Structure 1
Amino acid sequence: MFMSRRTALCAVLALAVSLVSAPAATAAADTGDPLARFRHQPLTWKSCVQGPDDDTGKELQKAGAECADVTVPLNYDDPGGRTVTVAISRIRATDTRRRIGPLLLNGGGPGGPTLGDPPWVRQAMKQVGARYDIVGVDPRFVGRSTPLDCRWPTGTSIHGAGTGRAGFDRAVAFARDLARRCRTSEGSVLPYVTTRNTARDMDIIRSALGERRISYLGYSYGSYLGEVYATMFPGRVDRMVLDGVIDSGRYSPRLLRGTEKANRQALADWASWTAARHTTYGLGRTRDAVLATVNRVQAAATRKPLKVGSHQVDEHTVPVIVLSGLSQDDDDAYGALAQAVRDMSRAARGRHVEPGPEFAETLKFVVTGSASAYGSVQSAILCGDVAAPRDPEVYWRDIQRSRARDPFLAPVTRNIGPCAFWDPPREAPTTVRSDFPALLVNATGDPRTLYSGAVAQRRNWPSSRLVTLRGTSQHGVYGVFGSACVDARVNAYLATGRLPAEDVTCEAQGRPGCRYGPGRPR
């Protein structure tokens, strides 16, 4: 749903280790604290490289990072019971005289690994990065942490409803089967795969690092995790940056519901870009012609699945493939989506098609079980946090009401998912605190975490400030889009701890400087 910036590689071999202990706890601190053994555990720091093909580990090693495993309770109500591990990485501060403390990262998903992110975040932070220990975290059951895998035939629970009732009924059966697989293979841990437990793990990490407070940078779903952490542990946060902000009041398994307008605009922008490159992609000389090509691909896939390489693409997966290509507003992402549509268009005309490397990876993710663990954890978190409607007719009626306005994307964004067949959440959803001084960042056209969500969270947190990037459909801005304006505002806050006096608006075109706003978003 909200994919992290990186994908972790499989780990096969742990290399050289060194032992570094967190500051010893006093006897008074341990008294009566059932979590004392977790809070004061010594951390064994080791090489992040786990084998000759471990590119993530090699990048971390090149950046001077080390890795460790943090032990946490599976169930915080039973800290003497089963434990799991949470994998972390750390690039230590080099400006030790002006050291600020640890900056924990979450790249979104939910279910996205973040252990490999410190090197590029350190680069985005420029000089201020030297003052932080930058800590990547693979949340519980993600990446190199204790694994969870429901053995799904896909890497995502996002599935199109098709064009009619028969297609929707297939989608219902598909969602039910995904939930059944998780209940069968991972049922004993599913109740504890939640944002609240991930926040608790973050606080264990804070304490194991020997820190009174942490700073935090969270993207997309990571913004919600930050909101929950600030609510559950209000005295433990120093500086917090949330980029691609989720409105905590509408967080649920149906996060894509309502994003149709933004995604239609992102699709139209991509179509205009592609039309200007008709000689390269051959999808149409105008925006409308390119969009008509997309519709023809969907119609052909509805009649008969398209054969692309060794994979088949049907009416349920074509719009998912297109939707997945609309989160980044740059030439590389636009070009990758254009190539994917070109390949599907050729397959729709009966031609033999071997997909390019990027499209092959997308197909592998969507229509095979190679990334089953990613989709499994993502759904487990969403379903474990907030209950979804259980009656399939709720989704059918919603899709039917939306088809006239958006027949292509609404059957994806409003479709049923495995949460409709999940066991009820173990804990009530978090009521996020009514104010917190964080720096919020969002693009106006973000098709994943809508700008309206950032505005709503800004109003809920009047002490916060909002940095708006105007004129782009980019999802995830700081250190990603290349806006000097946005990056400078974030880095100034991380350096000083002082929020801007007013909200700030940055312009995407030309990526120039800043324009100060009215102090409260419109």
Structure 2
Amino acid sequence: MRKTGPLLAAALAALVGLTGLTPAQAAGPDPATIEWAACAPPAENFECGTLTVPVDWKNPAGPTVELFLSRQRATDPAARIGSLLVNPGGPGLSGATFATFDFFSPEVRRRFDIVGFDVRGTAKSNQVLCSGDLVAQYPDTFIKNQAELDHWRDFSTRMRADCKSRTGPVFEHLDSISVAHDMDAVRAALGEEKVSYYGISYGTVIGQAYAERFPRRIRAMALDSVVDHSAGRERYFRDTAAHAQGAFDAFVKWCAGEPRCALHGKDVRAIWTRLKDRAERGELGRMTKSQVLRIIFNGSYAPAWYSAAEQIARLDASAPQAQAPLRAPGDFHLPWQLFCADFDMRIRDYREYTRQLRHAKADAPDMEFNPSTLTVNSWCLSEPRPIPYPQRRLRAPGAPPILVVNSRNDPITGHAWAASVARQLGKAGRLLTYEGTGHTVYDRSDCTISTIDRYLIELKPPAYRASCPAVPLEPPAEALKPNDFLLQDLTDRLTPRH
């Protein structure tokens, strides 16, 4: 069995801003083609290129944006099926870098060219840039009163204007429907009649947008760790809190049965409550309550529960700490605008905000809320109407079987979301459940690899509601992983680590 699954989060953290993937020569001017060339070191064994597409697909004669791509050629050209387009999620992680990873099984790499492109507004495809000085003023996303909400609304308005001025016309066209059109342009430029696609986390929103717009151009589509784009604002808030609570409950159960857990034999829930209270009193230095909650989010991603338990134990035994300042020199890449273009998360006032918190806490008494949801709730406050790709049920008439994959306990994209998307797809939806904890399923076990590979290669999906057993978690503990889909709080990224 390949053991790379729990290590994926660390690799994903390096995707955005990687400088080694630069075309050795400029792509040709024809927007319908990709001029491939060897990538710059250290990725010279792969091919890189660019594809020019319209900023606004409704105005193809208007401004354009260059998409950056990479390709890992099939290792057996005689057995090659075609191209497999991939996206690692985020939003904002580099698909071009992900395509160069040794992530897929040897059989998939033998049969497919692995192709990734940086989604518009990210990495090397006209990434969203914002003032570091302004970003350093980022308020706490846990809003405590109407005045703080008003301050956040003003701050998000200023941030939006600043980021738009630094990013250019593409800033207003970052929605996943636009990305789906980009993906179809990549398909055509590759000479593929139909798309084979594998997307993780936020990459599943792109997949859903493509299935909605181009259902008959799909050869195979595997959606791994699924975001439910039909979840309205209030359901989104409650669902993401419930996902976090499920991961926390699984962590507590694991620790009770694992003597090597640093909290074994202790009242984990009482310790957890004490840490949250200390954070609210400012006794944990730079760590806010939201950042305490991220210990479980990040720890449940791999999962890296040995490390999570050790961090909780250290914090519980620590003395009060001083608050460190935020620092963000120069321009700062913030991909959150992609989310604002796909989800209407705006709230009217503090009364609505507290109602959402109250309902979320009812579903998640220990986790209370999802800190990433608070981040996007705040960041998207000033998003103007209409939202380019607002929440709606997925309809993909004429689509072939689409494989929907999820862990039973995923801290951010819960199993209920995957089941919902599979239902929305009707007969085309095939749900595969990994009966364990973690975010990203593909290489969790021999069962998950072989099931997904068989679908991608042979177009043979599993039976409805198929499952793969969980793989036991074993030490040595992996370090806590920064994960995708907005899990890394801005203050985590800006504050020096000690």
> Do these two structures clear the TM 0.5 threshold for a shared fold by scoring above it?
yes
Q: Shorter-chain-normalised TM-score: which range?
A: 0.7 to 0.9
Shift, 1:147, TM fit:
1.6
Structure 1 residue 156: Cα displacement: 13
Letter in 2 for 1:294: W
1:135 aligns to what SS in structure 2? strand
Rg larger for:
1
Corresponding residue for residue 182 of structure 1: 160
Moved more, 78-87 or 197-206: 78-87
Is the Cα contact below 8 Å between 2:237 and 2:369 reproduced in 1?
no
What residue identity is the alignment partner of 2:402?
A
Q: Would you say the 8 A contact 2:406–2:434 is kept in 1?
A: yes
Pair 1:370–1:219, CA change in 2 (3 A)? farther
CA separation in 2, counterparts of 1:272 and 1:112? 32
User: Cα offset for 1:438?
Assistant: 0.9
Letter in 2 for 1:126: P
How do 1:363-512 residues align onto structure 2 when only pairs under 5 Å count? 369=328, 373=332, 376-378=334-336, 380-392=337-349, 393-403=351-361, 406=364, 409-412=367-370, 415=374, 416-425=377-386, 427=388, 429=390, 432-435=394-397, 436=399, 437-461=401-425, 462-470=427-435, 472-479=436-443, 481=444, 483-509=445-471
Residue 38 of structure 2 is matched in structure 1 by 46
C-alpha spacing 1:207/1:221, structure 2 compared with 1 (3 Å): same
Give the drift of 1:290: 2.6
Match of 2:275 in 1: 297
Aligned 1:140-159 pairs, distance under 5 A? 140-151=120-131
* CA-to-aligned-CA distance 1:56-111 (integer Å, 9 cap, x gap): xx3x44xx322112222212222222222221111011222221111111111222
Pick one of 226, 232, 244 that aligns with 1:263: 244
Once the 2 structures are TM-superposed, how far is the Cα of residue 223 of structure 1 from its aligned partner?
Answer: 1.3
Q: Does 1:108 align with 2:89?
A: yes
Mapped pair 1:350 → 2:320: yes
Contact 1:259 1:448 in 2 (8 A): yes
Q: Is the 8 A contact 1:6 1:116 kept in 2?
A: no
**Contact in 1 for aligned 2:279/2:289 (Cα 8 Å):** yes
Indicate whether 1:338 and 2:309 are aligned: yes
Cα distance in 2, alignment partners of residues 115 and 139 from structure 1: 9
Report the alpha carbon displacement of residue 496 of structure 1 after superposing the two structures with TM: 0.9
Going from structure 1 to structure 2, the CA distance change for 1:452 and 1:372 (only over 3 Å counts) comes to: farther
Q: Does the C-alpha gap of structure 1 residues 370 and 116 become closer, same or farther in structure 2, counting only changes over 3 Å? A: farther
**What is the correspondence of 1:47-196 to structure 2 with a 5 Å cutoff?**
47-49=39-41, 58=42, 60-61=43-44, 64-120=45-101, 122-151=102-131, 160-161=141-142, 165-166=144-145, 169-170=147-148, 173-174=151-152, 176-186=154-164, 188-196=169-177
Contact 2:20/2:40 (<8 A) preserved: no
Structure 2 unmatched ranges of 5 or more: 1-8, 474-498
Once the two structures are superposed, residues 269-302 of structure 1 have per-residue CA deviations (whole angstroms, 9 ceiling, x without a partner) of 3345456778884xx4435x23322222221222
Contact persistence 1:220–1:246 (CA under 8 A):
yes
Q: Contact conserved, 2:241 with 2:370, CA < 8 A, in 1?
A: no
Do 1:159 and 1:171's aligned partners in 2 also have CA atoms closer than 8 Å? no
Q: Give the whole-Å Cα distance in 2 for the aligned partners of 1:16 and 1:487.
A: 32
State the partner residue of 1:313. 287
Assess if the C-alpha contact under 8 Å between 2:54 and 2:60 holds in 1.
yes
Q: Provide the C-alpha distance between the structure 1 equivalents of 2:290 and 2:208, rounded to a whole number of angstroms.
A: 34
**AA in 1 matched with 2:320:** G
1:296-334: CA deviations, max 9, x gaps?
Answer: 222122222523xxxx22334333x3353244253xx22
Q: Distance in 1 between matches of 2:137 and 2:194?
A: 35
2:224, 2:404 within 8 Å by CA — same for their partners in 1? Answer: yes
- The equivalent position to 1:227 in structure 2, one of 191, 202, 208, is 208
Partner residue, 1:359: none
Aligned CA RMSD, in angstroms, stands at 3.6
Instruction: Indicate the structure whose relative CO is greater, using CA pairs within 8 Å and at least 6 residues apart.
Output: 2
Tell me which amino acid in the other structure corresponds to 1:261.
Answer: A
Q: Which amino acid aligns with 2:24?
A: V
- Work out which of the residue numbers 205, 217, 228 in structure 1 matches 2:198: 217
Aligned residue identity for 1:113:
S
Cα distance in 2 for partners of 1:189, 1:233 equals 22
- Conserved 8 A contact 1:220-1:476: yes
Matching residue within 265, 269, 283 for 1:286: 265
Do the aligned residues in 2 keep the contact of 1:154 with 1:372 (CA within 8 Å)?
no
CA distance 1:458–1:388, shift in 2 (3 Å): same
- CA positional deviation for 1:19: 7.8
Letter in 2 for 1:422: E
Native 8 Å contact 2:222 2:405 kept in 1: yes
Is the CA contact (8 Å cut-off) linking 1:69 and 1:88 kept in structure 2? yes
Q: Which residue of 2 aligns with 1:358?
A: none
Deviations 1:429-481 (A, max 9, x none): 365324531111112222222212222222222123221112x22221002x2
* Number of the residue aligned with 1:5: 12
Q: Percent identity?
A: 25
| TM-score normalised to structure 2 length | 0.79
2 CA distance for matches of 1:371 and 1:486? Answer: 43
User: Any idea what the Cα deviations from partners look like across 1:138-167, whole Å, max 9, x if unmatched?
Assistant: 1111112212122366699996526xx44x
- Asked whether the equivalents of residues 139 and 145 of structure 1 are also in contact (C-alpha less than 8 Å), the reply is yes
Give yes or no for contact 2:296–2:308 (8 Å, CA) kept in 1. no
